[in-house]
Structure 1
Amino acid sequence: MNINTYKAVIEGVLFLTGDEGCGVKEMAAILELPVKETEALMQEMMEQFDQDEQKGLMIVYLGGKYKLATKTQFKPYFEKMVSQAEASLSNAALETLAIIAYNQPVTRTKIEEIRGVSSDAMVRKLQAKALIKEVGREDTPGKPILYGVSEEFMDAFNLASLDELPDLQNIAQTSMEEDLFDAKYREEEDKPNESQG
């Protein structure tokens, strides 16, 4: 492979690994190159992405992993996605978001245990919309990433604090088929009107 092909493969690998990222030894094995040569190639790509004004992405090196991230100078544009978060999120994404909000900090494995299905795509989608963020690493083998909701989540759902989330016990008492927000609306309607005597 020529150098441009190597770079194209690296870009694709970083996209596919998402928030997990890819270590230099893993990348070297994929490219079938020595580690030092891979490191030099990664450094060159980091500089190229950073200097290329036509790219909205950059390559970062965090926690021993290379990852794709959005450039901070374009943050105001990316934040515009968040303003329509409630309307654009699928039920699966909303379910994943709710699990993170109520259980944070939480690992992807725990999210999948609760949902009963793979949640990698949902976690990536929520990260891309800046509704969740990495908040640390769990002190267990492999040190999995811990997720929590972001400030953008709080803004998008008009929450001053997580204490304003609906009480889980109240939700459990409603039918499983009811929409959470519809249930809350009906609860407000059912309250006695103090002005009536």
Structure 2
Amino acid sequence: MEDCNNIIEGILYLKGDEGIDIKELSLILEISKKEAVEAMDHFIEAYSKRGFDGLQVVDFGGKYKLATNPQYFPYYQKMVEQSKTTLSQAALETLAIIAYNQPITRAKVEDIRGVGCDGMIRKLIAKALIKEVGREESPGLPILYGVTNEFMDAFSLASLDELPELGDIVETESDEDIFTTRYQEGDLSETD
């Protein structure tokens, strides 16, 4: 059962904000739904007894996820507020893909970037630059993301129509990135 706990912990970590339901867990572990419920119950019990309370397992509408403990929210908030570093290139790429293609799922962003972006999406949500805007009508009902009013304010945009045409950006042969330039000029700080 210990290996099962380790596997479930890894699955929850990899699933991130999407979480996992019992049906999917039973398919991955190749066990019955009843056994999957028992395995998840055992995992939650063992996880809560492990001696650390920074993370907890939560059940949101049948989806199990790892989440931060709300008891420590003031510390997490300070971390976000005190951070003054610029967005990484990966975060800027993810932000640009969402801005130009919204509403868009995480999977489609990953298809465009060619790498996983769950962490980048969480970072951009924490910075209030993107948000969940709905669910795609496809199997699993994946989350759709779009930019926020804070994004619009940070980049001085009245509407997304003001974003440069993608063709214009490619043709300019400049190393200058519209998002990086404004961000580095101070129009956007890590806490915005």
Q: Give the TM-score band, short-chain normalised.
A: 0.5 to 0.7
Residues 84/74 of structure 1: CA separation in 2 closer, same or farther (3 Å cut): same
| Amino acid in the other structure paired with 1:93 | A
| Structure 2 segments unaligned to the other structure (5+ residues) | 186-192
Matching residue's letter, 1:163: A
Number of aligned positions between the proteins:
178
Decide whether aligned partners of structure 1 residues 138 and 57 sit closer, same or farther in structure 2, where only a CA change above 3 A counts.
same
In 1, the alpha carbon distance for the partners of 2:28 and 2:90 equals 32
* TM-score of the pair, normalised by structure 2: 0.67
Give the partner amino acid of 2:36. T
* 1:63, distance to aligned residue in structure 2 (A): 4.7
Could you tell me which residue of structure 1 aligns to residue 119 of structure 2?
124
Q: Aligned partner of 1:73: which letter?
A: Q
SS at the partner of 1:139? coil
- Alpha-carbon offset, residue 47 of structure 1: 5.2
TM-score, with structure 1 as normaliser: 0.65
Whole-angstrom distance in 1 between the partners of 2:70 and 2:146: 20
What is the Cα deviation at residue 38 of structure 1? Answer: 1.9
Amino acid at match of 1:8: N
Q: Is 1:145 the equivalent of 2:143?
A: yes
Asked if 1 retains the 8 angstrom alpha-carbon contact of 2:131 and 2:148, the reply is yes
Q: Decide which of 74, 93, 105 is 1:107's aligned counterpart.
A: 105
Greater Rg by CA:
1
Q: Classify 1:52/1:76 alpha carbon distance in 2 versus 1 (closer, same or farther; 3 Å).
A: farther
Kept in 2: contact 1:14–1:68 (CA 8 A): yes
RMSD: 4.0
Q: Higher relative contact order by CA 8 Å / sep ≥ 6: 1 or 2?
A: 2
Aligned positions of 1:17-96 closer than 5 A: 17-46=15-44, 49=47, 54-83=52-81, 87-96=85-94
Question: Residue 114 of structure 2: SS of its match in structure 1?
Answer: coil
Q: 2:158 aligns with which of 138, 158, 163?
A: 163
SS at match of 1:147: strand
Counterpart contact for 2:94–2:120, Cα < 8 Å: no
